[in-house]
Amino acid sequence: MPVPNDYERKLRALGKLYEKFPNMAAIEAVNFSKERFVQKNWVDRSRTSWKKRKRKDRGSLMVKSGRLKRSIRKLSYTRNSVTIGTDVPYAQAHNDGETINKTVRVKAHTRKVTKRARSERTGRLLKKRVSAGTTTVKAHTRKMKMTISERRFIGQSALLARKVERLTQREIDKILNS
């Protein structure tokens, strides 16, 4: 008689796993997407590094306030699928790459003016710049064309699918071997 009880216990445990598995898969997917910000790459069947930023003195790539990375979460799930995403408006532009072509308004403002310094001894211009006061810029409009490079951090990935499969197999093995 102990064998049917053990069988029933394992069957109930597998049923519970079936109920909680979508949430486990969602956690795995969210962590995978957030890891892209640390690794600065996208991994599907192979690694694709993100394009380097033009200015090296600006800190970490794609993280200014951390809002985009923190916003990645589980949006919905069913027994057979999980959807993760973000509600940040600029997320798709960064994930897929985009060219922004629009006219923008520039408010009136003051700007510091600098000029190249002269050597006191020779009178030649130096590379060093010194302040020459300020100037006022009038309000105006200008055309702006900006290209945002694709830096994928969310989407379908073969590596993520393998991670979810391994997670499933580990949990099933844990139940069957207990």
Distance of CA 154 to the CA centre of its chain: 7
Q: Are 95 and 153 in contact (CB under 8 A)?
A: yes
Q: Return d(Cα 12, Cα 20) in angstroms, integer.
A: 13
Q: What is the DSSP string of 77-119?
A: E-SS-EEEE---TTHHHHHH-EEEEEEEEE--EEEEEEEEEE-
Beta partners for 111?
Answer: 135
Give residue for tokens 């003195």: 57
Share of the chain above pLDDT 90, in %: 49
With cut-offs at 50, 70 and 90, classify the pLDDT of residue 145. very high
Average pLDDT, integer, range 9-28: 89
Report the predicted TM-score, pTM, of the whole model to 2 decimal places: 0.74
Place of tokens 């898969």: 25
**Res. 1: pLDDT tops 50:** no
Instruction: Give the model confidence (pLDDT) of 84-105 as tens digits.
Output: 999 999 999 999 999 999 999 9
Per-residue pLDDT tens over the stretch 96-129: 999 999 999 999 999 999 999 888 889 898 888 8
C-alpha distances (whole Å) from 81 to each of 26, 67, 73, 91, 158 are 9, 26, 14, 22, 16
* Predicted local confidence at residue 164, as pLDDT: 92
Model confidence at 4, in pLDDT bands (50, 70, 90)? low
Q: Is there a contact between 79 and 18 (Cβ–Cβ < 8 Å)?
A: yes
The confidence score (pLDDT) of residue 165 equals 93
β-partners of residue 106 are 140
Sign of CA dihedral 43, 49, 53, 54: negative
